[in-house]
Amino acid sequence: MRRQWVVTGWAAAAVIAVAAGVGAVALAQGGTLGPPTEPVSEESVQAALEDATASSSAGGTPSPEASPSESPGEEASPSPEPTGQLDEIPSGGAETGEEVFAVDGGTFLARCSGAQVELMWWVAAQGWQVSSVDPGPGEDAEIEFEGASEFEYTIACVDGAPQSSIHTSGGDDDDDDDDSGDD
């Protein structure tokens, strides 16, 4: 009889040890017993950004205050709530006169008001950082992302819409990607 209790005790201890091991693995995988998730590829992030921008282009979060550069006769243009450097891309889309640029190094939103352009917000991609930014408002705005390489983007208003041109460091290869024209 005593031997039966010893065997039962060892069996119970084994069951508890296995359950604890399974629980530890589940916690290490983010709290699930499913397979670990793979990192998201840059292509799928870009596609998701384009889908989000296209689906939310009709809406945005207007700001309660008007821009100080407006004339008294102009209507106050709505502004996205976030401004400057952010940790993540806001959920609102671009409105008329605005454009969200998902580029090598990060994402930014530019707004045109007449011939003046202004960067409203910017987010560096994973593994990248913003090394310099001139948000405007002015005839052009600039932002430089630094990571595995450096990319500097110049943004200007063309026909009331922001246009971006790229300048890569270390070479004079910027004439292939220049879509904004010379200022």
Average pLDDT over residues 105-134: 91
pLDDT at 71 over 70: no
Average pLDDT over residues 59-81: 42
Q: Where are the alpha helices (DSSP H) in the chain?
A: 2-28, 42-55
Number of domains the chain contains? 2
The verdict on 97 and 161 lying in the same domain is: yes
pTM over 0.85? The answer is: no
The verdict on 94 and 13 lying in the same domain is: no
Of 7-16, 53-62, 67-76, 120-129, least confident by mean pLDDT is: 67-76
Query: What is the pLDDT, as a whole number, of residue 7?
Result: 87
Average pLDDT over residues 54-65: 46
- Using only the alpha carbons of the chain, give its radius of gyration: 26
The residue range of the domain holding 132 is 83-183
Q: Could you give the count of Cα atoms lying within 13 Å of 102 in the half-sphere of its Cβ?
A: 19
The verdict on 27 and 91 lying in the same domain is: no
The verdict on 25 and 104 lying in the same domain is: no
More confident residue, 163 or 173: 163
With respect to residue 155, please indicate whether it lies within any of the assigned structural domains. yes
How would you class 89 by CB atoms within 10 Å of its CB: exposed for 0-12, middle for 13-18, buried for 19 or more?
buried
With respect to residue 170, please indicate whether it lies within any of the assigned structural domains. yes
